[in-house]
């Protein structure tokens, strides 16, 4: 089984995972995909080492797409390997925690998953470049071109999509009724996702970033605390106190 959830911010917002009863019955062949802002590694502390040990000791295997709050300067030096048909990086040499890289199409026993991490930090003006913010948070034109090539190779047809942000045309719908929903900022990534919305054949698209749990429509689900099986939306009546 594959499950999807939202941002954990280096362990700051993961009570949902700690309290996940269903996860106790999973195995290493089951996966939990985090839709960005994994945030590990970040501070390289003993506390963070304990958190990594806890995640590694879970029955399932943890996967993530990058968000905007990742230590990109560290990840750029990590080895890349192929796994389930796409490129990944591991947290360490033998780690079961894997970063699903940008623009990849993964095949899990016939179920295909397109991944494209990254987003723009709305709080970047209060962060320090190279310490708490990196320009690599937003995919380059080269990475977007690579993603188009991968989608060409599968004739623009996948089962599911996991990203951190969403298409420009979905921003207002996602943010409503919160502040800024009438004229949200767009960028080259959200505009690229507009292209995907018009060309890509998919069943459901999951994303984090906006700190909400909501089925935006019948094919798009924004996640924060909810943990849902791949292919399903948030159940009716779902609630989670943070």
> Average pLDDT in the 19-28 region?
96
Question: DSSP secondary structure string, 103-142?
Answer: TEEEEETTEEEEEE-----TTGGGS-BTTTB-GGGSPPHH
**Do residues 81 and 179 make contact, with C-beta atoms less than 8 angstroms apart?**
no
Residue 204, pLDDT above cutoff 90: yes
Name the one residue in this structure whose structure tokens are 């937003």. 138
Nearest to 189 by CA among 176, 204, 170, 203: 170
Task: Please report, to the nearest 10 degrees, the dihedral formed by the alpha carbons of residues 90, 102, 142, 133 taken in order.
Answer: -70
Strand partners, 129: 133
Look at residue 111 and tell me whether its pLDDT is greater than 60: yes
* Mean pLDDT on 182-209: 95
Average pLDDT over residues 23-40: 97
Residues in the chain: 242
Residues 32-76: pLDDT tens digits?
Answer: 999 999 999 999 999 999 999 999 999 999 999 999 999 999 999
Q: How confident is the model at residue 176 (pLDDT cuts 50, 70, 90)?
A: confident
- The structure tokens 């230590």 sit at 71
Q: What is the pLDDT of residues 220-232, one digit of tens each?
A: 999 999 999 999 9
pLDDT at 240: 64
For residues 235 and 192, the answer to whether their CB atoms sit within 8 Å is: no
Q: What is the pLDDT of residue 242?
A: 43
pLDDT(159) > 60: yes
Digit-coded pLDDT (tens) for 116-130: 999 999 888 899 999
Whole-number pLDDT of residue 84: 98
Q: Are 238 and 222 in contact (CB under 8 A)?
A: no
pLDDT at residue 238, as a whole number: 79
């Amino acid at each position: 089984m594959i499950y999807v959830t939202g941002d954990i911010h280096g362990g700051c917002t993961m009570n949902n995972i700690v309290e996940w009863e269903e996860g106790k019955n999973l195995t290493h062949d089951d996966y939990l995909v985090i839709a960005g802002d994994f945030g590990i590694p970040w501070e390289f502390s003993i506390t963070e080492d304990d958190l990594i040990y806890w995640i590694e000791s879970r029955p399932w295997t943890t996967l993530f797409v990058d968000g905007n709050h990742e230590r990109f300067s560290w990840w750029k030096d990590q080895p890349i390997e192929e796994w389930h048909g796409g490129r990944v990086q591991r947290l360490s040499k033998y780690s079961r925690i894997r970063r699903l890289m940008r623009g990849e199409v993964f095949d899990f026993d016939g179920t295909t998953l397109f991944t494209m991490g990254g987003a723009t930090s709305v709080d970047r003006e209060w962060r320090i470049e190279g310490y708490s913010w990196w320009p690599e948070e937003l995919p380059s034109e080269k990475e977007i071109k690579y993603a188009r090539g991968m989608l060409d190779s599968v004739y623009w047809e996948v089962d599911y999509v996991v990203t951190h942000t969403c298409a420009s045309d979905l921003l207002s719908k996602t943010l409503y009724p919160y502040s800024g929903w009438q004229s949200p900022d767009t960028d080259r990534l959200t505009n690229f996702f507009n292209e995907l919305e018009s060309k890509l054949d998919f069943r459901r698209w999951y994303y984090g970033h906006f700190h909400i749990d909501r089925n935006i429509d019948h094919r798009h689900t924004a996640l924060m605390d909810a943990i849902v099986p791949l292919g399903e939306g948030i159940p009716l009546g779902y609630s989670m106190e943070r």
